[in-house]
Amino acid sequence: MEWSFLLVQALSGLASASSLFVIASGLTIVFGVTRIVNFAHGSFYMLGAYLAVTIVPWLLEFDRSPTLFFAGVLASALAVGALGVVMEVLLLRRIYRVPELFQLLATFGVVLIVQDLVLLVWGPVDIPGPRAPGLRHGVYILDQRFPAYELFLIFVGPTVLALLWLLMHRTRFGVLIRAATQDREMVGALGVNQAMLFTGTLFLGAALAGLGGALQIPRVSASAQMDLSIITEAFVVTVIGGMGSVPGAFVAALLIGLLQAFGVLVFPKITLVLVFLLMAAVLVVKPWGLFGKPEAAAGRAVLPEGILDPRPLDLAGKVLAGVALLALLALPLVDAYAVKVGTEVLILALAAFSLNFLVGNGGIVSFGHAAYFGLGAYGAGLLVTKAGLPMEPALVAAPIVGGAFAALFGFFVVRLSGIYLAMLTLAFAQIAYAVVFQWVEVTGGDNGLVGVWPSRWAASREVYHYLTAALTVAAIIFLRRVIHAPFGATLRAARDSAQRADAIGVDVRTHRWLGFTLAGAAAGLAGGLYAFSKGSIDPTLLGIPLSVDFLSMILLGGIQSVLGPVAGAAAFHAVKDFFMPLTDHWRLFLGLSIIAMVLVFPRGLAGAWASLRRRPA
């Protein structure tokens, strides 16, 4: 390999690093002040690109000058900043005090809404942007041609860093941002106008995301998939750098940009995996990232959001559970479509229940639970299609595969807590997704695999429905038993006070790891059953949207309730099944519903049922 080639490779790594930093700096500043991890940051990036491909060509009609090009880019960034203000005023200021799971979900609701709005305004076709006047040529570096625009991008990152430094150290607003990042309560106590500070921070953060997106238009077309792909990378950068640290984000972006540029030479297919491995390694050594600080412990103990004191079902609860079970078993009397939906509800109920075993019972907020569901499905599917095994051993393998990967990823996950833990589960899920997506020879890539059919005896919809019912109900009853057993109680104890659990002799980390593995195995079983019910598998079974669906189910059912997630899965799936064919704007509807649930209905169906029961007759 020639030196000139390596140099060019390094330069293109620096260009990506620079772009990544501009975006991630906004995310990390917003997190530092508001303590909210803003999923919609990726949407701001996407909006920046879409606005730029609209505004910039219009401006260039007047005069093809670099000035107008960059004026258009800046205008796009400022417009996105204004959208950030809208989001802060309408949504974020209502959720600063709710648990982080709810914050993450609410901002993900915004992601869904923006996706549909972008399609509505700009249509489904990718829109290429104009090239930058004056920077369209290539520069020759040691005989290698290198685009001038990329060279320009390399300087954008350090410039933004310098400007942010000036802002943070030379202006009152910046000093307040730094103060709030260190101690939000104290800044409030000093009489600072918090509302203005938070709104201003969102403007800055969103504008940086918009700038990052607008600067990309000469390189990549604006497309509706930009948001989720960039947000995971931005998460990784902020987590590695330390959440809230701008210099940390800069260093992390450099590391990742260079790792990707050179990683692609050595492992062309798994650059994404390398990035996440770097993140896992950093978090194991420095759990709060390179430049991050541990979260200050809450001054007073608060009741955790989750399952409190599980009690045996009372008579009404038993009747309700019995009726629901009988109804599911009687579905074959209705029609084939009802059976199909019923089978899916059972499978999703198990997946949701296993997720709430972690979230509600263990306080372990997993944002990538679909990974174990999907890996179980792929484990079973590959055994059938590639190894030629029948359904029975494949269904045994599904929970083993799900559990094994949960054990592997969980080993790192349980070392962290709170928002870092959620980010790491998300990162691992994205690794799994990327591997399944890119390893075309084995997994079939984007198209997935077909021909995952049940054995002959279980081939009819009705028989498969009963098989699914037997396995999922047994698994749910087992997990429910575990919640009431010492192991489940120990997970709740560790959630309430890890310090106290440690002091009574509990190995907190090991118990959380075992719990994570058990939940992964249950999700794997659900995934295996799902594969055979569809006859096919594809990478969406591991994707973030499905993980969010699971979270929405437990939120809808009520995370403080043991059996609520089952009801939540049924309600969620029924509504989705009914509405999705009726509307082109399912995501808009789902996003608005998630936000509505977080704002007005945070205890879910089980909470509504409980308050109904408590009402005097």
Partner 1 sequence: MTLLAAEGLTKRFGGVLAAKDVTFALNAGEMLAIIGPNGAGKSTTFNMVGGQLKPDGGRVTLAGQEVTGMPPREVCRLGVGRTFQVAQTFLSFTVLGNVQMALIAHHGQTRKLLADAAAMHRDAALALLDRVGMAAQADRPVGELAYGDVKRVELAIALAAAPRLLLMDEPTAGMAPAERAALMALVAGIARSEGIGVLFTEHDMDAVFAHADRILVLVRGEIIARGTPEEVRADPEVQRVYLGHSGTRAAARARRAAHG
- Contact residues toward partner 1 (CB under 8 A) are 300-304, 306-309, 481-482, 484-490, 492-493, 495-497, 499-508, 511, 514
Q: How far is the CB of 274 from partner 1 (least distance, A)?
A: 33
Q: How far is the CB of 258 from partner 1 (least distance, A)?
A: 32
CB neighbourhood size of 289 (10 A): 26
Q: Which helix (H) or strand (E) element contains residue 146?
A: strand 144-147
Exposure string (b/e) for 555-564, b if CB count within 10 Å is 16 or more? bbbbbbbbbb
Q: How far is the CB of 521 from partner 1 (least distance, A)?
A: 13
- What is the residue whose two structure tokens read 């008579």? 315
Residues 209, 48: contact at Cβ < 8 Å?
yes
Residue 141, strand partner residues: 144
Q: How far is the CB of 379 from partner 1 (least distance, A)?
A: 23
Q: Which helix (H) or strand (E) element contains residue 108?
A: helix 100-122
Residues 11, 150: contact at Cβ < 8 Å?
yes
- Quote the CA–CA distance of 604 and 307 in Å, as a whole number: 13
Sign of the four-CA dihedral 99, 103, 104, 106: positive
Measured from the CB atom, the residue of 308 and 574 that comes closer to partner 1 is 308
Measured from the CB atom, the residue of 137 and 484 that comes closer to partner 1 is 484
Query: For the packed helices 604-614 and 544-557, what is the interaxial angle rounded to 10 degrees?
Result: 0
Measured from the CB atom, the residue of 145 and 500 that comes closer to partner 1 is 500
Q: Which helix (H) or strand (E) element contains residue 530?
A: helix 508-534
Q: How far is the CB of 297 from partner 1 (least distance, A)?
A: 9
Measured from the CB atom, the residue of 312 and 388 that comes closer to partner 1 is 312
Q: How far is the CB of 504 from partner 1 (least distance, A)?
A: 4
Q: How far is the CB of 99 from partner 1 (least distance, A)?
A: 14
- Quote the CA–CA distance of 506 and 502 in Å, as a whole number: 5
Measured from the CB atom, the residue of 392 and 507 that comes closer to partner 1 is 507
As a dihedral over the C-alpha atoms of residue 591, residue 595, residue 598, residue 600, rounded to 10 degrees, the angle is -130
Measured from the CB atom, the residue of 222 and 471 that comes closer to partner 1 is 471
First to last CA, the chain: 82
Measured from the CB atom, the residue of 91 and 518 that comes closer to partner 1 is 518
Measured from the CB atom, the residue of 19 and 417 that comes closer to partner 1 is 417
Q: How far is the CB of 520 from partner 1 (least distance, A)?
A: 16
